[in-house]
Amino acid sequence: MVQAKVWTLAKHFDGFPKDSDFKLKVEELPEPKDGEVLLESVFLSVDPYVRPFSRAHMKEGDPIIGSQVAKVIQSKNPVFPVGSHVLGNFGWRTHAVSDGSGLTPIMPGWPQDVSLSLALGSIGMPGLTALYGIEEVLGLQKGETLLVNAAAGAVGSVVGQIAKIKGCKVVGSVGSDAKVAYLKELGFDEAFNYKTVSSLDEALRKASPEGYDCFFENVGGHFSTVALQHMKSFGRIAVCGSISVYNDTTPQTGPYPHLTMIVKQLKMEGFVQSRWEHIHPESLRRLMAWLKEGKLQYREHITKGFENMPAAFMGMLQGENLGKAIVAA
Ligand SMILES: NC(=O)c1ccc[n+]([C@@H]2O[C@H](COP(=O)([O-])OP(=O)(O)OC[C@H]3O[C@@H](n4cnc5c(N)ncnc54)[C@H](OP(=O)(O)O)[C@@H]3O)[C@@H](O)[C@H]2O)c1
């Protein structure tokens, strides 16, 4: 009999999450039956979407939603042999019994020298989000100028690097000087700390006086309002995330964007990466090829210990992470 530790939602978030919103429970798992496997978590992901999706996808008492890389430790399913690794969306838990539905084997040919944690980051959902936002939504072209915010994070750092691969000028906004230095290492043309610049308007103008063709939006709120003023005519905006409003208890109101959009003839499109699920395998191979060629670099912010998942999640929402926020079980 295996005992699984499971982080559950003790109370729905109200404003910024707090320790008392989470409760650690222990579950007795049954022996796997024919066709089933027993899984043990290796790396767990803490992602921003947990915050805005929490009310719609969880009841109080439910396991916290999330994905992980897990190892098969018992198997009665030949598709998933003992010792193999899978990606699964079965929430914040150390162990799970699965009949295989919803499990994705790690990409075939995963190189020995690449950590499997990247399957939750640059060679996983965040990397795919960056790729689809750039290619499918923005249609970014060589020579264009792209702005990205939350630029040192899991999605943003890949966005900037793909834009450089495509021969573009890239400007990144981040919340610390260490992150600014990291963006420079990655080859961003311009980077600034939105928390310390005296004026966001001036920082955006200075970084690209001629304006922006494309804006990969991760933050929303005030940043979005100011950035819109700096778009070139016929500029395109990919709305990927809006992290600055996820913890709001009352919706922010601001200047409405319509007039700016009309005058500049802007195109703004929201998207969710799963729209292109049918091309995930090929897209992951492309991301891995860039990684192996040294064109896609990465950092990870690894928190050790399953018991620290809520702290890792809250830390990520506060910007503690440089690169993808991961928990090593
Ligand atoms: N549409 C999709 O399919 C999809 C998929 C994945 C992610 N997303 C979205 O993409 C965005 C980035 O996700 P990620 O997984 O890559 O997370 P991440 O960037 O690795 O981590 C979140 C970052 O957001 C920044 N942040 C937090 N509060 C902020 C605020 N008030 N203003 C500005 N920045 C703030 C922090 O960086 P700083 O230190 O720079 O502030 C923090 O490190 C999120 O909005 C997420 O919801 C969308």
Q: What is the pLDDT of residues 99-143, one digit of tens each?
A: 999 899 999 999 999 999 999 999 999 999 999 999 999 999 999
User: Atom of ligand 1 at shortest distance to CA of 48?
Assistant: 47
Give the DSSP letter string of 156-204.
HHHHHHHHHHTT-EEEEEESSHHHHHHHHHHT-SEEEETTT-S-HHHHH
Q: For residues 328 and 126, give the distance between their C-alpha atoms in angstroms, rounded to a whole number.
A: 18
Contact 230/37 with Cβ under 8 angstroms? no
| Residue 36 DSSP symbol | -
In the reported structure, the alpha carbon of residue 30 is separated from the centroid of ligand 1 by a whole-number distance in angstroms of 37
Q: For residues 193 and 172, give the distance between their C-alpha atoms in angstroms, rounded to a whole number.
A: 9
Residues in the chain: 329
Helix runs in the chain, H state only: 50-57, 125-132, 154-165, 177-186, 200-207, 221-228, 258-264, 280-292, 309-317
Quickly tell me which residue has 């899984």 as its tokens.
Answer: 39
Mutation test of ligand 1: which of 148, 200, 218 has the most ligand atoms closer than 8 Å to its C-beta?
Answer: 218
In the reported structure, the alpha carbon of residue 11 is separated from the centroid of ligand 1 by a whole-number distance in angstroms of 23
Per-residue pLDDT of the chain (329 residues; tens, 9 = 90+): 899 999 999 999 999 999 999 999 999 999 999 999 999 999 999 999 999 999 999 999 999 999 999 999 999 999 999 999 999 999 999 999 999 998 999 999 999 999 999 999 999 999 999 999 999 999 999 999 999 999 999 999 999 999 999 999 999 999 999 999 999 999 999 999 999 999 999 999 999 999 999 999 999 999 999 999 999 999 999 999 999 999 999 998 889 999 999 999 999 999 999 999 999 999 999 999 999 999 999 999 999 999 999 999 999 999 999 999 999 99
Q: Which residue has a Cα nearest atom 3 of ligand 1?
A: 272
Residues with CB under 6 A from ligand 1: 47-49, 126, 129, 150, 152-156, 174-176, 179, 218-219, 240-244, 271-273, 316-317, 319, 321, 324-325
| CA dihedral for 225, 227, 230, 232, sign (positive or negative) | negative
Q: For residues 28 and 2, give the distance between their C-alpha atoms in angstroms, rounded to a whole number.
A: 6
Domains of the chain listed by start with CATH number: 2-121+299-328 (3.90.180.10), 125-274 (3.40.50.720)
In the reported structure, the alpha carbon of residue 218 is separated from the centroid of ligand 1 by a whole-number distance in angstroms of 6
In the reported structure, the alpha carbon of residue 9 is separated from the centroid of ligand 1 by a whole-number distance in angstroms of 21
Q: CA angle, corner 244, sides to 224 and 203, nearest 5? A: 45
Give phi and psi for 298, each to the nearest 5.
-150, 155
| Residue 273 DSSP symbol | G
Q: Which residue has a Cα nearest atom 8 of ligand 1?
A: 241
Closest CA to 122 of 95, 170, 154, 83: 154
Contact 32/81 with Cβ under 8 angstroms? no
Closest CA to 67 of 125, 144, 28, 25: 125
In the reported structure, the alpha carbon of residue 241 is separated from the centroid of ligand 1 by a whole-number distance in angstroms of 7
In the reported structure, the alpha carbon of residue 244 is separated from the centroid of ligand 1 by a whole-number distance in angstroms of 8
pLDDT of residue 254: 86
Give the global pTM.
Answer: 0.98
